[in-house]
Amino acid sequence: MTNRARNVFAIALLCAVAAPVASLAQSDPPELWTLITIEIEADMVREFEELQKELNAAYKKAGMTERRISQVIRGPATEYYIAEPVSKFASYDEPALMAKAMGETGAAQWVARVTKCVKNRRVDTLEARPDLSIPLAEGRSPKLMILRTYDNLPGRYSDYNNWLTSKWVPAMKKAGMNGVFYYRNAFGGSQRSWYVVSYVDSWAAFDGEHPVLRDLGEEAYRELRTGVGAMTHGPVRKILRPRPDLSIIP
């Protein structure tokens, strides 16, 4: 599996009971992802995390090789994200892996236990945009991720997509940025919604200027960003930390 496939969305969670797992033997990195956002009851965090470890053990025996969970640490601290690659939409027609991993009775019992922990839950299918993304450089070991979510304003998708393609992504590459991944919502929310994941090595990285601002200088940076506010609404920013202890990592 490529570096992009390993690192794209190190954020994923509970795995919908019927959610499929992509074939990891495919030649190209997956471009569809099931993303589950879960808010846990404050007094149920420990139980929820133990249930994730239990599920992972069963999934591994059933053949799952990747499932990544991250936790919000600036924002709702009881919010988790789970992301799993999906081979194709037809995969959603297939039987749930959970039933194969635990048996019908065991799966039902696990769901009943985890449901007691969950305050809110939503499921989205995201479409990756590898043409806009910059893979994580070999040798980096980032401790944090920035998750930004925002919407295109009506009728401005083409303008914004062109700006990303012709201006912003080239500027990030020129500034030496890597570990930046773009996604659009395919199902579960507005198709104008974007999700951007940026890897950060440590908290110290937030003390300096944005790499593109540092590379271009203030005037050129301001010119580059002119008009973006007329194309998008938002963003909401959250800081997450990967939870390898709760994940299945290749």
99-154 pLDDT tens trace? 888 999 999 999 999 999 999 999 999 999 999 999 999 999 899 999 999 999 99
Q: b/e map of 13-42 (b: 16 or more CB within 10 Å)?
A: bbbbeebbbbebeeeebbbbbbbbbbbbee
Q: Which residue has the higher pLDDT, 239 or 97?
A: 239
Give mean pLDDT, residues 181-195.
92
What is residue 7's predicted lDDT score, i.e. its pLDDT? 41
What is residue 17's predicted lDDT score, i.e. its pLDDT? 36
Q: Which residue has the higher pLDDT, 14 or 95?
A: 95
What is residue 89's predicted lDDT score, i.e. its pLDDT? 84
**Does residue 56 carry a pLDDT above 70?**
yes
What is residue 72's predicted lDDT score, i.e. its pLDDT? 96
Question: Which 8-state DSSP code applies to residue 137?
Answer: P
What is residue 26's predicted lDDT score, i.e. its pLDDT? 33
What torsion do the CA atoms of 208, 213, 216, 219 make, to the nearest 10 degrees?
A: -120
What is residue 41's predicted lDDT score, i.e. its pLDDT? 96
Distances from the Cα of 49 to the Cα of 71, 119, 218, angstroms: 11, 14, 44
**Burial bucket for residue 203 (CB in 10 Å: 0-12, 13-18, 19+):** exposed
> Looking up tokens 């709760």, which residue turns up?
246
CB 16 within 8 A of CB 99: no
Query: Where are the chain's structural domains?
Result: 1-250
146-183 pLDDT tens trace? 999 999 999 999 999 999 999 999 999 999 999 999 99
What is residue 191's predicted lDDT score, i.e. its pLDDT? 87
20-52 pLDDT tens trace? 333 333 334 458 889 999 999 999 999 999 999
pLDDT > 90: what percent of the chain? 69
Q: Which residue has the higher pLDDT, 11 or 44?
A: 44
Provide the residue type at 155 as one letter.
Answer: G
Distance CA 229, CA 225 (A): 8
Q: Which residue has the higher pLDDT, 92 or 222?
A: 222
CB 69 within 8 A of CB 10: no
Looking at domain 1-250, its CATH class is: alpha beta
Pairing relationship of beta strands 144-152 and 68-74 according to DSSP bridges: unpaired
Distance CA 111, CA 114 (A): 5
57-114 pLDDT tens trace? 999 988 888 888 999 998 888 999 998 888 788 878 877 888 888 999 999 999 999 9
